[in-house]
Amino acid sequence: HAPAKLATDVPLENVPPLYDGRRASLSLNIVIVGAGLGGLAAAFTLGHAGHRVTLLESAPALGDVGAGIQVSPNATRLLLRWGLSRALASSAVEPEAITFRRYDTGERVGYTRWGAPMAKEHGAPYYHIHRADYHAMLLRLARTAPGVHVRLGATVKGVQPDPTVKGGPSVTLTTGEVLHADLIVAADGVKSSLQKTVTGLDDAPTPTGDAAYRAIIPTDLMLQDPELRPFVETPEMTAWMAPGRHLMAYCIRGKKEYNLVLLHPDDGSVESWTEEGSGEKMRADFADFEPRVQKLLSFVKSTLKWRLMDRKPLSTWVHPHGRLVLLGDACHPMLPYRAQGAAIAVEDAAVLGSLFSRVSSLTQVPALLHAYQDLRLPRATVTQESSRLNQKIFHLPDGPAQRARDGAMRAAMAAELD
């Protein structure tokens, strides 16, 4: 892991087989638990593979979550294949480069061109998008599949994975309603309750020691300031690296909004997309960052806070009875330091849909789930581990290791700009 590569190398090794639109000769009754980005993508791929899919989501509405997300080419190449090129082009921003800066002086220490060279090298563009737009896009997509039924306000409280029990595998909702299924996909996120049934482990996700503040500011405020205008006019992903902290910033929504993700030592936040953070505390935590960052933070009216959790790689994603499987953060939560959590969940969905477009008998289900695990688990594990490694690289204290990191990045930047 050469430090110069940091998060700029998009992990495209072992890319999954693309979902190819084949329809299964046997239509299964599938329940997916969780309509996050992973569950929605799986509803689309499994629905289009010819299955009847009930997608259960505890939230009463898929609302506006105030944060941006990066969509790297390993995900966009699938989204484009699924017909989302126009939707992406209209709501996402394609950054022209990634720039790494020193936190206190703002000195540029690393630079890699993205934009057209990235799209050419990886076969698809890199995008920055608002999460709400991404969710809405995948929800619309899932609903294009004929057999997909989305049920909001439906919370699963228990799962019965044994196919030999009368009625077969089932989930039970908090209302007492029981839904039977040939296959249950647990896409219920980092705090997955179904994960415990699959692995038999009664452990919780691991706090990583870091937390994130997230905030969005209108770019018209930035355009009025000559020092901030370039961040909008030439959209880039900018990362300011500091001891124990870093700040990621990029444009979303047609360059109308600027998304800030401020990573810092955890001081007792919770895992939630909606917990309010204190703007004053956030500004105090980043007071030693360069003046342009102070200006950006002065525009922040409200922030959200998120404790960052991950999990040691699991040894299995498939329940021994072979009818219950994990997908997305439910099996591989990771630090967002390679911006890969949702991308890997979307890849999971592509692989699961592709495999289940080949099913012709119920007896094949366990083998197909194990094939899914074999294809996905090693890649997810490598990505979880490299995301953890980036925590150390981004957050090096000022000193010899930090100088070596910055020196390597400067050398790579010189070669890039040569």
Provide the binding-site residues for ligand FAD, judged by CB under 6 A: 33-39, 56-59, 69-70, 155-156, 187-190, 193, 212, 261, 306, 308, 328-330, 336, 339-343, 345
CB nearer ligand FAD, residue 252 or residue 365 = 252
| The pairing of beta strand 52-57 with beta strand 148-152 | parallel
String of DSSP letters for 55-111: EEESSSS----S-EEEE-HHHHHHHHHTT-HHHHHHH-B--SEEEEEETTT--EEEE
Nearest approach, Cβ of 273 to ligand FAD (angstroms)?
8
Q: Cβ of residue 271: shortest distance to ligand FAD, in angstroms?
A: 8
Rg (CA), the chain: 22
The strands making up 324-326's β-sheet, listed across from edge to edge, are 148-152, 52-57, 29-33, 183-186, 324-326
Q: How far is the CB of 203 from ligand FAD (least distance, A)?
A: 17
AA letter at 236: E
Q: How far apart are CA 370 and CA 358, in angstroms?
A: 14
**DSSP assignment, residue 256?**
T
> Nearer Cβ to ligand FAD, position 391 or 402?
391
Residues in CB range of 60: below 8 A, 6 or more apart? 152, 153
Minimum CB separation of residue 413 from ligand FAD in Å reads 23
Q: Are 190 and 329 in contact (CB under 8 A)?
A: yes
Residue 155 near residue 174 (C-beta atoms within 8 A): yes
When the beta carbons of 39 and 50 are compared against ligand FAD, the nearer one is: 39
> How far is the C-alpha of 66 from the C-alpha of 80, rounded, in Å?
24
The shares of helix, strand and coil residues in the chain, as percent rounded to the nearest 5, are: 40, 25, 35
Query: Least distance (Å) from ligand FAD to the CB of residue 234?
Result: 20
Shortest spacing between CB 8 and ligand FAD, in angstroms = 14
* Residues contacting 415, CB < 8 A, separation 6+: none
Select 212 or 365, whichever has its Cβ closest to ligand FAD: 212
Between residues 158 and 320, which has the closer beta carbon with respect to ligand FAD?
158
Nearer to ligand FAD, 325 or 339 (CB): 339
Q: How far is the CB of 304 from ligand FAD (least distance, A)?
A: 9
Q: Which is nearer to ligand FAD, 115 or 364 (CB)?
A: 115
